[in-house]
Amino acid sequence: MFSNICNSCLLLALLSFSGLEANGGIDSAEEHSAAKKMNVYFISGLGADERVFTKLKLDPRLDVKYIKWVKPLKRETLQHYAARLSKQIDMSQPFQLVGLSFGGVIASEIADVACPQQVTLISSMSTGVPLSRFYQLVIRFFLFSPLSAPTLKSANRLTYSYFGADTPELKKLLKDILHDTDSKFLKWALIRMSGWGRKDRAENLFHIHGTADKLIPIVIVKPDMVIKDGGHLMVYAQADQISKILNDRLTTIHSVE
């Protein structure tokens, strides 16, 4: 009997030891898996937040984070503003950037100081679009008008058309975003964007653009991938298609050692 008890105790001890080892292995595997996740920082459009990305279904190997807009300083340049936003990025780990609309402009500028593994633009532009001095002056005159803020922030037939908000859900999203956008930030961003003089694409840049984008017409940009009938808010309206492209692109450079 004593022998049986000893054998049972030994068996229990072995099982317990094995269980600890197994749990330790699982924990280590989970930690290792977590450590291998690629940090991907998303930057939304003008004044918007992560709501525009909520329809995306992204690969679990991606650790998705969102860059928060901050109040621009008086007369601050895009380059200086982008450098300030880059402080939200953990540069000790490999990372990628995804920029939507104005967020793509900022992503390109951040890339100059932060060295991401890849920059992906959606409904944006990779270089400055040449505008005449006259057109820039017209934009400035309009934006400094006391009527500009109410006009820009109003959700109406014109804004719905330009943003491609053609469903009740998209119209509500756009209306909420415009309502929550700070007027001063909106004016500052539009002025800086109209005078953006970048001539060269950021390194390792991939640009996705829709053929039906009225806000940034496809004829003035040179995208790497074209989405048929994609409007300016295709990241939300055609989320399944955009998700597939992003997952393919973002996980291709998923090579964190």
Give CA separation, 159 vs 97, 187, 239, in Å.
27, 16, 21
Q: Which helix (H) or strand (E) element contains residue 40?
A: strand 38-43
Output the pLDDT for position 132.
65
Give the pLDDT of residue 109.
97
Is residue 194 over pLDDT 90? no
User: Domain check: are 53 and 175 in the same one?
Assistant: yes
pLDDT above 50: residue 257: no
Number of domains in the chain: 2
Q: Is the pLDDT higher at 215 or at 24?
A: 215
Would the pTM of this model clear 0.85, i.e. be above it?
no
Q: Is the pLDDT of residue 226 over 50?
A: yes
> Tens digit of pLDDT for each residue in 108-164?
999 999 999 999 999 999 999 876 676 677 777 777 777 777 777 788 888 898 889
Residue 216 is given by DSSP the state S
Based on the fold, state whether residues 134 and 237 are members of the same structural domain: yes
Quick one: angle between helices 183-194 and 133-143, nearest 10? 180
pLDDT of residue 38: 93
Secondary structure (3-state) at 64: strand
Residue 254 confidence (pLDDT): 53
User: Residue 98 domain-assigned?
Assistant: yes
Show the domain range for 8. Answer: 1-35
Q: What are phi and psi of 57, to 5 degrees?
A: -120, 95
Which of 146, 59, 147 is closest to 98 using CA atoms? 59
- Better pLDDT: 13 or 240: 240
Provide the H-helix boundaries in the chain.
2-35, 78-85, 102-114, 133-143, 148-153, 157-163, 168-180, 183-194, 234-237, 239-252
Question: Are 27 and 61 contained in the same domain?
Answer: no
- The answer to the question of residue 257 being in a domain is no
> Pick from 200, 150, 171, 185: which is nearest to 48 by CA?
185
Q: Are residues 87 and 27 in the same domain?
A: no
Provide the token pair at 232.
């300016």
